Amino acid sequence: MKRISLIFLIMVLLISCQTPLNEVSDDEVRPMIEAMLRQEPGVLAKYGSQALGEVTTFEQAESQIYQLINTFKIETVGSTEKHDGMMVTEVTAQPADMIFTVALDEKNRITGVFIKTDAKPQMSEVFYEKAISIGSDAIAGLITYPKNQTNPPVVILISGSGPQDRNSMIGPNVPFQDLAHGLAAKGIATIRYDDRYYHDASLYQEVTIEEEMLDDVSGAIELARTLDIDPDNIFLIGHSLGGMMIPKLLSDHPEVAGGIAMAGSPRPLQEIMRDQQLAQMESQGASDKQMEQLNQQMDSVNQIIQEIDTPKGADILGVPDRYWLSLREAAAPNHTRFTQPALILQGGKDFQVSAEVDYPAWQELFQDRSDVSFQLFDNLNHLFMPSLTGDATEYMTPQTVAPEVIDAISSWIEQQ
């Protein structure tokens, strides 16, 4: 099913018009894969399908793919195997192993490329990491411990929507890894893990927000209490859609010490989507009539979502009605009576979740709560990295989460 994401897809990872593959030998596809891993120019122009060329230019797609590959130091390239109509090659690399997948059409031409990661435990002078697994489905993840500290507080990192790895990687940027390593330097442990369907789509049926996200957070909390951390100081950090779920999660888990919402919103997701689409249309020079048509369509969508009572399996914006119902019920305005402290963080240059609309909406919602704090970072984007261009292209420039964000989070945790 179509995924709805608060982070724009800015790389051509997979073109939807896939068709069953003819039998392709490793010898046939291997030269294409190795040429891309070597970042040879003109590979997509040589091997790309017509469908790929209709979505983007071969040069643009190739540039985006190579920008990401360039962030890895490739050590060995494994054999190529067929999996579910894809040609999959496992690549040993630093700082994370890479799962490189090429989709082909019926003529064995490239229609898209997936690059997934399997982040390895790392170690430095201030932290060390161990592999962990979450819940009965053994969702893969890492715990990062600060060195020379016994039973530290721990933060569980919760990603936004869409299939994201444990580092919340987008382009060459890894904001969750930045948070984990930065907080370890402050004496705080972190747990981060892959979305449950990042490596195995069969684990996720997109039925409710509970099955997409919240159940795995519960599993992470349960696991945390068995690890070498302070069980009385377990905190949650949610980013984007994960940030939207912080009030619900705090309400459901009174044993948690507190929660931080980063680039979240108390508004309905469909309203945020409306704003994103309108901004995109405006940047592309859409007419007033076109903008009005979109507003009317989204008004109708919003009314349908608000009137869902008993799900009937209807599809709304590519997602089942039961999913929208679960989002509506889990929305922050329905879960304001949690007893723990909370911190709301927002980037002033976030073009996906608005500092002018969503941030004030949080402040209004919790205006009577002295234990809910707010902090705005004027020049940071949705990833809490410096804003360079004000649009999605800056996600393709290697950056790190701003140090002042790490400082704000660690200071707030120390005060609880």
pLDDT tens digit sequence for 88-118: 899 998 878 889 989 888 888 888 888 888 8
Spatial distance between the Cα atoms of 281 and 287, rounded to a whole number of angstroms: 9
Number of domains in the chain: 2
**Between 257 and 393, where is the model more confident?**
257
Quick one: 168 and 107 in the same domain?
Answer: no
Query: Residue 145: pLDDT above 80?
Result: yes
150 burial via Cβ count (<10 Å: 0-12, 13-18, 19+)? exposed
pTM of structure: 0.86
* 247, 98: one domain: no
154 & 84 share domain: no
pLDDT at 274 over 60: yes
**Selection from 2, 27, 26, 19 nearest residue 85 by Cα:** 19
In this prediction, residue 3 carries a pLDDT of: 37
Report pLDDT digits (tens) over 146-171.
999 999 999 999 999 888 999 999 88
Q: Quick one: 125 and 113 in the same domain?
A: no
Residue 19 belongs to a domain? no
Task: Please give the average per-residue pLDDT across 248-276, as a whole number.
Answer: 96
Environment class of 82 (CB within 10 Å of its CB; exposed 0-12, middle 13-18, buried 19+): middle
> Residue 339: what pLDDT?
97
The whole-angstrom separation of Cα 89 and Cα 77 is 7
59 & 195 share domain: no
Domain endpoint, select from 74, 90, 118: 118
Q: Can you give the pLDDT at residue 24?
A: 52
In this prediction, residues 278-294 reach a mean pLDDT of 86
Q: Are residues 245 and 218 in the same domain?
A: yes
- The three-state secondary structure class of 299 is helix
Q: Residue 203 is part of a domain; what is its CATH number?
A: 3.40.50.1820
102/217 same-domain check: no
Query: Same structural domain for residues 135 and 107?
Result: no
Q: Above 60 in pLDDT, residue 190? A: yes
Same domain, residue pair 67 and 216: no
Q: Please indicate, yes or no, whether residues 222 and 350 belong to a single structural domain of this protein.
A: yes
Burial (CB < 10 A; 0-12, 13-18, 19+), residue 196, is buried
The CATH number of whichever domain residue 39 belongs to comes to 3.10.450.50
Q: Which residue has the higher pLDDT, 196 or 249?
A: 249
Domain around 155: 121-266+331-415
pLDDT band at 55 (very low <50, low <70, confident <90, very high): confident
Digit-coded pLDDT (tens) for 300-341: 999 999 999 988 888 888 888 999 999 999 999 999 999 999
Average pLDDT over residues 40-49: 90
Residue 174 is assigned to a structural domain of this protein? yes
Residue 263: pLDDT above 90?
A: yes
Indicate whether 33 belongs to any domain: yes
3-state DSSP assignment of residue 144: strand
Indicate if the pLDDT at residue 187 is higher than 70: yes
Same domain, 84 and 192: no
Q: Mean pLDDT across the chain, nearest whole number?
A: 88
Do 134 and 109 share a domain, yes or no? no
Q: Concatenated DSSP letters for 177-205?
A: HHHHHHHHTTT-EEEEE--TTSS-GGG--
Question: Which segment, 116-125, 197-206, 245-254, is predicted with the most confidence on average?
Answer: 245-254
The pLDDT, as a whole number, for residue 315 is 86
